[in-house]
Structure 1
Amino acid sequence: MTAATIAPTTAERIRTACARAGGAMLAVEGIDAAESPVHHLLHDGSFAITVPLGGTLAGRVVAAEPAGVPAVLEMTDYAPLPLREPVRSLVWIRGRLHHVPGTEVAAMLDLIASEDPNPALLQVNSGPARGDGDLRYTLVRLEVDSVVVADSTGAESIGVSELLDARPDPFCAMEACWVQHMESAHRDVVDRLASRLPMALRRGRVRPLGLDRYGVRLRVENEEGDHDVRLPFAKPVDDVTGLSQAIRVLLGCPFLNGLRARRP
């Protein structure tokens, strides 16, 4: 694989989007779409999802067993900056919702918490709500039929086995802070990265769009529209030290990446 083609796989992009999405929207025919704060990929390829406790959807899921309720889970990956077009990608997971028996809920919550300690897990089956702003949830499971991601490059579907084999980007939890810091405090870095772009893409405003183990993404906003460009690292990196070195090499700073000039 050459440096020019190094980029996350479709499965990696989806796993990263799932990990970054604070809330997902769950759509079921005949019911208003609802936000689900928990959407966790289980080891069998299904998703654990939270829905309002005692609501219409929760009741429909119980009544529909064993067939389940057709549903679509939508996750939106937003850019860390207020861009003209803030959505970086959309993920749609289509399948059927199934009830999780009460005897299995505690074990499933423990499993999810061990991999993703989401505070919203504390609101699952924890008693009645104490006010309009105090939501309680019940746990359901989405058996997956299809997974599709769409971004500026187009749309693509993958199988559940590919999703299970992939992992989220190791920097996804820190990416937003880094991109915001790059924009606010290191415009010189952004300008140097922009100098790597083809001349046709240097017209307009260049903004940092994303950062992952494979490289840096820039968004060019001009009168002709928005253009996303990836500047790949020489090889994927797995830790902060490697990321810092890769960025400096990308900037063309050989002596800032750990190399030292020879003394006379």
Structure 2
Amino acid sequence: MTRAITDRPSDAEVIATACRRAGAAMIAVETTGGGAPTPAPASVDLVHLFESQAFLLIPTDSDIIPLAGNSPDGVPAIVEITDCAPIDLRERVRSLIWLNGTAHPVPRDLERDLALEIATEHPNGGLLDIGHGRSMIRLQVDTAVVASSSGAACVPAAELAVADPDPFWEYEGEWIAHLDADHADMVGQLARRLPRDLRRGRVRPLGLDRFGIRFRIEGIDGDSDVRLPFPRPVADVAELSRALRSLAGCPFMNSLPD
């Protein structure tokens, strides 16, 4: 019997969340014969997952766009997403994600309508640059891989297609920065719940989601990450704030910005 995971996001949810707040991503493609040179990798400004597809914003002058347009079946491609902590840590990378599949062009006359639709659930200033140095390309995802300090996992496209990003994805960065800068007392209280052997170093908030809070312990011999789960997943900011205060043993402490 498979036990439902209730203390952490699934691998597919981790990927979906990282894609929503992707600040550093690249796409690379490979040619399939014919002697054509392989285009240089291109930066990606937005990664929007929709079912088993990822819509990407890349520079209009990238050679990837005409190559995909001239390939009826698409071109093999991989998108690498680097999920970084929102604060200045010794090592800021929290996870690396790779989306593997085939890249296809998005017709230019559909780009703006598609951008408006994407913006309703994934607001991103880069969408305003369509037609002004940025174009859209579609990745048909076959598989995805996520790697972090806890290991690596491969996620099939069907599982990724039904995964939702964490409900706090849009605000997690500023909340973590607020905790780190303004609530050292609360971080200290939470750190007391960590295993004793993990307290030998500087404890910094690393991530926050509906299942709990993660910390990075920067020790003399290296870094380690640890999660403190909430008693149950939370659904909104009020529940999240109560869960944090309860973990810290300070029921009346303000934990999140207004």
Specify the TM-score bucket, using the shorter chain as the normaliser: 0.7 to 0.9
Displacement, 1:114? 2.1
CA offsets 1:57-89 (integer angstroms, 9 cap, x no match): 21111112x121111111111011111111000
Displacement, 1:231? 0.5
Letter paired with 1:10: D
Q: Which residue of 1 aligns with 2:33?
A: none
2:207 paired with 1:200: no
SS in 2 for 1:147: strand
2:19 paired with 1:13: no
The answer for unaligned runs of 5 or more in structure 1 is: 127-135, 258-264
**C-alpha distance in structure 1 between counterparts of 2:149 and 2:158, whole Å:** 25
Larger Rg: 1
Give the TM-score taking structure 2 as reference length: 0.88
- Report the CA distance shift for 1:202/1:23 in structure 2 as closer, same or farther (over 3 A): closer
Displacement, 1:42? 2.2
**Is the contact made by 1:61 and 1:97 (CA closer than 8 Å) also made in structure 2?**
yes
- Report the CA distance shift for 1:176/1:105 in structure 2 as closer, same or farther (over 3 A): closer
**Is the contact made by 1:51 and 1:57 (CA closer than 8 Å) also made in structure 2?**
no
- Report the CA distance shift for 1:178/1:137 in structure 2 as closer, same or farther (over 3 A): same
2:246 paired with 1:249: yes
For residue 119 of structure 2, the aligned residue among 89, 108, 113 is 113
Q: Which residue of 1 aligns with 2:54?
A: 47
RMSD: 2.1
Q: Which residue of 2 aligns with 1:155?
A: 152
User: Matched residues, percent identical?
Assistant: 47
SS in 1 for 2:41: strand
**C-alpha distance in structure 1 between counterparts of 2:166 and 2:215, whole Å:** 18
**C-alpha distance in structure 2 between counterparts of 1:22 and 1:254, whole Å:** 34
Q: Which residue of 1 aligns with 2:128?
A: 122
Displacement, 1:223? 1.7
SS in 2 for 1:122: helix
**Is the contact made by 2:42 and 2:62 (CA closer than 8 Å) also made in structure 1?**
no
For residue 175 of structure 2, the aligned residue among 173, 178, 184 is 178
**C-alpha distance in structure 1 between counterparts of 2:40 and 2:108, whole Å:** 25
**C-alpha distance in structure 2 between counterparts of 1:55 and 1:252, whole Å:** 53
For residue 79 of structure 1, the aligned residue among 51, 71, 85 is 85
**Which segments of structure 1 move beyond 4 Å, counting only runs of 4 or more?**
254-257
For residue 222 of structure 1, the aligned residue among 213, 219, 229 is 219
**Is the contact made by 1:78 and 1:88 (CA closer than 8 Å) also made in structure 2?**
yes
- Report the CA distance shift for 1:248/1:112 in structure 2 as closer, same or farther (over 3 A): same
Alignment of 1:22-37 (within 5 A): 22-29=23-30, 30-37=38-45
Letter paired with 2:50: L
Q: Which residue of 2 aligns with 1:210?
A: 207
**C-alpha distance in structure 2 between counterparts of 1:83 and 1:94, whole Å:** 29
**C-alpha distance in structure 2 between counterparts of 1:211 and 1:93, whole Å:** 23
Displacement, 1:40? 1.1
**Is the contact made by 1:214 and 1:232 (CA closer than 8 Å) also made in structure 2?**
yes
**C-alpha distance in structure 2 between counterparts of 1:206 and 1:119, whole Å:** 33
The answer for unaligned runs of 5 or more in structure 2 is: 31-37
Displacement, 1:109? 2.2
Displacement, 1:50? 2.2
Letter paired with 2:12: A
- How many pairs does the alignment contain? 245
SS in 2 for 1:40: strand
Letter paired with 2:121: E
Q: Which residue of 2 aligns with 1:60?
A: 67
Displacement, 1:161? 2.2
SS in 2 for 1:85: coil
Letter paired with 2:49: L
